[in-house]
Chain A
């Protein structure tokens, strides 16, 4: 069982290219459909949790699934499986980079790739904005956060803390209002 758990998460880590979100449907296929380790409703619950928790989503997912199956040992095995392949791949690249980064051919290739990668990050700004359905007020919050980080160099840590606190205060106010309406 441990070996199976390791193997499944190693495969997920090794073959999902392009970030953690790309891993989620593959984790679902392996864990729910193929191995039938976890029922679909439970998986949806776990998914909701992993997305509200801080941390790398794919790692959170591995911990949750591993823990559900085999406790703490299971979660450690699933995580090491998920992380091992990306770790080794980047380590090899880092070694290569240290030697060849100043090579003119490598440099010209990266000169072409840098604007492309910025464009690839610009796309989710718009898609996330759309999927959240930003209103005027939440749009202003997003805009303010952007300016604070970009122009004023505020650490994103403070922005996240303030936003979480703001969300909590808003929740209390809403609850208070609803309570009053009932009376």
Chain B
């Protein structure tokens, strides 16, 4: 049953995503592309691209989109995936807010988080590598676009939305 699968998958993503939007991409990709085949790797790249230009966290955007697509164009799929994603946050944060206001300063929590921190870099890096496939890099022009965008974003801090728009325009003119 697709709705149950969506619910369980995004519940897991909600429980295990640490370190913010980019770090959870490899987790979402693993579930949505590798395990269930709900999206191709190109569709996944497209939805991440769209997320850069629409409001809200990337994880929520992906959940809403995947839910709709995987359920064969049904809004209920979106609702299930999005609810499942935020459910662990709501439950855990409510408990923490109720009992441990100073939880962030707890030594054990700090210790655990210290272990996770270097791995967050690995999670983001693997998302880059996993997405750098022939499907997403069609030919030499893709590598040019990648290099130009990287330099513009890293050295000149060009805004991501502007870069996405320029990338789309370049694609429209070149292909």
Interface residues of A (CB under 8 A from B): 13-21, 23, 45, 48-60, 63-64, 67-68, 72, 75-76, 79, 82-83, 85-87, 89-91, 93-95, 97-98, 105, 107-126, 128-129, 132, 134, 138-139, 141-146, 148-150, 153, 155-157, 159-161, 163-168, 170-172, 174-175
Contact = CB atoms under 8 A, between A and B. Distances in A.
Given A67-B94, A126-B154, A145-B126, A121 B57 contact: no
- What are the nearest 9 A-B pairs in CB distance? A112-B171, A167-B115, A86-B56, A171-B111, A145-B122, A48-B104, A55-B89, A116-B167, A119-B149
Contact of A121 (B15, B22, B164): B22
12 contacts: A54-B92, A55-B15, A56-B14, A56-B85, A112-B167, A112-B170, A113-B49, A116-B166, A117-B167, A121-B48, A144-B122, A164-B113
B168 A45 contact: no
A156 B116 CA distance: 11
Given A45-B104, A86-B57, A60 B125 contact: no
Nearest to A145: B122
A173 B139 CA distance: 51
B86 interface: yes
Interface string B21-34: 11001110010001
Interface of B: 12, 14-18, 20-22, 25-27, 30, 34, 42, 45-46, 48-61, 64-65, 68-69, 73, 75, 78, 82, 85-86, 88-90, 92-94, 96-98, 101-105, 107-132, 136-138, 142-143, 145-147, 149-150, 153-154, 160-161, 163-164, 166-172, 174-175
Given A16-B55, A111-B171, A128-B124, A134 B118 contact: yes
Given A112-B169, A114-B136, A124-B124, A171 B108 contact: yes
A55 B73 CA distance: 26
A87 B82 contact: yes
A76 B93 CA distance: 11
Contacts of A121: 22, 25, 48, 124, 127-128, 131
Interface centre among A119, A122, A156, by most chain B C-beta atoms within 10 angstroms, is A156
Contacts of A123: 150, 153-154
A126 B22 CA distance: 12
Contact of A142 (B90, B102, B125, B160): B125
A114 B94 contact: no
A57 to B, nearest CB: 6
Contacts of A116: 49, 145-146, 149, 163-164, 166-167
